[in-house]
Amino acid sequence: MVRNLCLFGALALAASACAQTAAPSPFKVPDGFRVSLFAEGFKQPRFMAVAPNGDVFVSDQGAGTVTVLADANRDGKADGKTVFASGLNRPHGLAFHGGFLYVANTDSVVRFQYMTGDVKASGAAQKLVDLPSGGGHSTRTVEFGPDGKMYVAAGSSCNVCEESDPRRAAVWVYDADGKNGKIFASGLRNAVGLEWNDGTLYATNNGRDQLGDDIPPEGLYKLKAGAFFGWPYCYTTQAGKPQVWDKDFGRKTADTCKTATPAFSLTTAHAAPLGLAFYTGKTFPALYQNQMFVALHGSWNRSQKSGYKVIMVDPKSGKTTDFLTGFLSGQNVVGRPVDLVTASDGSLLLTDDGEGKIWRIQYP
């Protein structure tokens, strides 16, 4: 059962008091959960990373900045916003590793020296990797694996085409200093979210357009080194089943699809799954522990809008369940989910680039 819950400000109100003093929230979450505003006033907040001391770093593509959000008094709301670095080229993915903050710009991966507690970059960015820019997909994502390697995703330059640059529509792996780069996984039209869990790299992926409202469904993938995931020749229509040949773009034969790794879970076509996070906190009930939460940014090219919510995905079965809804009222959009992280206090934080806000989801 789900129900409307009120939004809390700086002070956490009792549920009864909330019902008497605040208008109902548009959000629906499972019973016992609460949604509150953590921070606002961003141009285009995208991906987040939690620093070793619990500070939350967020990229703002529209502003070209990375901002630090601290909650020193532990009231569930950011104390303020401090710009850590500015003048960046559409920054997106963020990662902490080995005393550095890594930032994936649309044309490069850079890193800044970082000491626990830093809220301002102490020096200029060090460029590690050049990335292809322009084209249809501008976001770049960076993630570190248990092997200490750096994994970088870049989307395709088109809706459907054969790329001339192998760094496109793929995930590459590099040493932490950006050297010795090689392809890790290919055939991913736009793998925006990357997250390691239990030795496996998980990815969201946005499927092609112009095949109607329902084809192809969007996919969630378990990546393996050297694997091919279908695009531009194939797509998954049934989770875990052989991929379907894209006959509208068929320079390869249907046999190509037999070797393409399918998605292990699917969402509605054009729902645009972006960021994902495995819940690693201790405050959610057992049902939610180590489950995968995925932000569906929402469709722009569907007669009936889809997405605009957060879903929970069982990484073993691929079963999906709505977790946070309310960003879509009828066909009226009131926000666009982007990325999730587990905060140090056990809450889930969610960026919303439609409203320039970050929401906090907690089980008190």
Domain CATH code at residue 74: 2.120.10.30
Token pair, residue 87, equals: 């003048």
Residue 175 lies in a domain: yes
69 assigned to some structural domain: yes
What's the predicted TM-score (pTM) here?
0.93
Owning domain of residue 148: 41-362
Assess if residue 21 is contained within a domain.
no
Sequence letter at residue 263: A
3 lies in a domain? Answer: no
- Bridge partners (DSSP) of residue 312 are 293, 321
Count of domains for the chain: 1
Instruction: Tell me if 132 is assigned to some domain.
Output: yes
Say how far apart CA 228 and CA 297 lie, in whole Å. 25
Digit-by-digit pLDDT tens for the chain (364 residues) are: 344 443 333 333 333 334 333 345 789 999 999 999 999 999 999 999 999 999 999 999 999 999 999 999 999 999 999 999 999 999 999 999 999 999 999 999 999 999 999 999 999 999 999 999 988 899 999 999 999 999 999 999 999 999 999 999 999 999 999 999 999 999 999 999 999 999 999 999 999 999 999 999 999 999 999 999 999 999 999 999 999 999 776 566 678 899 999 999 999 999 999 999 999 999 999 999 999 999 999 999 999 999 999 999 999 999 999 999 999 999 999 999 999 999 999 999 999 999 999 999 999 8
Q: Is residue 35 part of a domain?
A: no
Distance of CA 267 to the CA centre of its chain: 15
Measure the CA–CA gap between 53 and 69, rounded to whole angstroms: 11
